[in-house]
Amino acid sequence: MVLLLKSAKIIDANSPFHHQTKDILVEDGIIKSIENQINKETNKVIELNNLHLSPGWFDSSVSFGEPGFEERETLQNGLDTAMKSGFTHLVLNPNTNPVLDNSSFIQHILNKSASHIVDILPTGALTERSEGQNMAELFDMYSNGAVAFGDYKRSINDANLLKIAMQYSKSFQALIQVFSLDQHLSTDTQMHEGPVSTALGLKAMPRIAEVIQLKRDLELVKYTDAKVHFCCISTAESVSLIEQAKNEGLDVTCSVALSNLYFTDKVLESFDSKYKIWPPLRETSDQEALIEGLKKGIIDMVTCDHLPLNIELKNTEFEHAEFGSIGLESAFGALNKLFGLDESVEFLTRGKSRFNATRTHIDVEQPAVLSLFDPDINRTFSEEDIHSKSKNAIFEGEDLKGKVYGIINNGKYYVSE
């Protein structure tokens, strides 16, 4: 397959062609030439209005449904959604039914997705059925392609179990994912504890529910010297704790959910369940600390935390609605609006190596792992923009900036017409 991209502006701080508009020739998945003008007979010429491209985008926390929750999302449609949203690599969460807690499930996911243009990096459950009682078969899953281990959005109450998992994972250099939340301080809560929750009369989760558990988990990292990724931190103090841990030399990374960067708990005054996410939307002081932490590199990556849910689980009374939102389709537009083009691309491309994926750059003889987009189109995100089977979109109705054209990866391409 020979592709020719015409007049594409390259956005890649690690490329010698950063911010230059060039023609790019791709042969069999490899960039063969980058010139001011290339005239060659090819299988496909990609020539699009205001075409920009960057290294392929990555997300460290994506959920689909298959197996078990196909009514929410199938593997095929989920990957197609990621493709249409500009993502070349996804870390897939294990929260299916049954939970991805053994090597046969990991192999099934990899085999079923092997021919797709988007690369799946599966996470295995840390404990059997993600119940927090018995450690799952970590090494067996790792040997069969799992890139990390964690119980999606579930903290491990048993400190000894988590300690043993950290110690065991060190023997084969595996990454443990931890979601830090004290369950006793968060049971049956509906939102962040603060002036808004008081005014609304909703049972709320205090910041310390995250902070107390994060302090414990960081002590376990210090004791075991394990490699750990903290998923979706949401408070200002958590940012400070991660910064301190990194300064002490601990092998830790963390992510933040895009929704926590964009919204605060004020939007919950509408009682609209689309804003009900986990961890919950916090106050402006937390939002500002998270944004600053991401910019400074204390927070390593941003995730859209894509979580499709059945309509009956979201379109109900607020107190009974499930937590979660889809986010792949709106990720670039929301980030680009918040941070601008260069920072958005940086946030969408960093973190791959933590999950055993190679971070590429745009240069001759490099793999063509590319996201294609127009960063200047202003649009209101609506249901027409949703490719997921589920429609629980927190960004629906928001004015976002940017349009995704498609991706190039694995020697294949997808470009929207």
**Among 85, 32, 103, which Cα is nearest to 363's?**
32
**How much is the pLDDT for 335?**
98
**How much is the pLDDT for 68?**
97
Check if CATH label 3.90.1150.10 holds for domain 56-355. Answer: no
| Cβ contacts of 224 within 8 Å, gap of 6 or more | 163, 166, 167, 170
For residue 217, name the pLDDT band (cuts at 50, 70, 90).
very high
Higher pLDDT residue, 150 or 417? Answer: 150
Answer yes or no: are the C-beta atoms of 367 and 29 closer than 8 Å: yes
**How much is the pLDDT for 158?**
97
Residue 20 identity (one-letter amino acid): Q
Catalytic site residue from 23, 101, 151, 305 = 305
> 34-74: per-residue pLDDT in tens?
999 999 989 999 999 999 999 999 999 999 999 999 999 99
Statement: residue 290 has pLDDT above 90: yes
Domain ranges of the chain: 2-52+364-379+399-415, 56-355
| Cβ contacts of 212 within 8 Å, gap of 6 or more | 182, 185
Residue 338 identity (one-letter amino acid): L
Answer yes or no: are the C-beta atoms of 155 and 165 closer than 8 Å: no
Task: Count the helix, strand and coil residues of the chain and give each as a percent rounded to the nearest 5.
Answer: 35, 25, 40
Q: For residue 14, how many C-alpha atoms fall within 13 Å in the half-sphere facing its CB?
A: 12
What are the tokens at 47? 């020539």
For residue 357, name the pLDDT band (cuts at 50, 70, 90).
very high
> 326-348: per-residue pLDDT in tens?
999 999 999 999 999 999 999 99
**How much is the pLDDT for 350?**
95
| Cβ contacts of 103 within 8 Å, gap of 6 or more | 137, 140, 141, 143, 144, 146
CA quadruple 54, 60, 61, 65: dihedral, nearest 10: 70
**Among 330, 334, 312, which Cα is nearest to 321's?**
312
**How much is the pLDDT for 361?**
97
Q: What is the mean pLDDT of the chain?
A: 97
**How much is the pLDDT for 399?**
98
**How much is the pLDDT for 364?**
98
Residues 192 and 211: their CA atoms lie apart, in Å, by: 13
Residues 333 and 55: their CA atoms lie apart, in Å, by: 17
Measured in whole angstroms, the distance separating CA 77 from the mean position of its chain's CA atoms is 17
pTM of the predicted model, to two decimals? 0.97
Which of these CATH numbers, 2.40.50.100, 2.90.10.10, 1.25.10.10, 2.30.40.10, describes 2-52+364-379+399-415? 2.30.40.10
Note if 305 is an active site residue: yes
The residue-averaged pLDDT of 249-254 equals: 98
Statement: residue 417 has pLDDT above 80: no
**How much is the pLDDT for 235?**
98
Domains 2-52+364-379+399-415 and 56-355 share a fold: no
The residue-averaged pLDDT of 375-396 equals: 98
DSSP-assigned letters across all residues of 129-174: GG-SSSB--HHHHHHTT--EE--TT-----HHHHHHHHHHHHTTTP
Statement: residue 3 has pLDDT above 90: yes
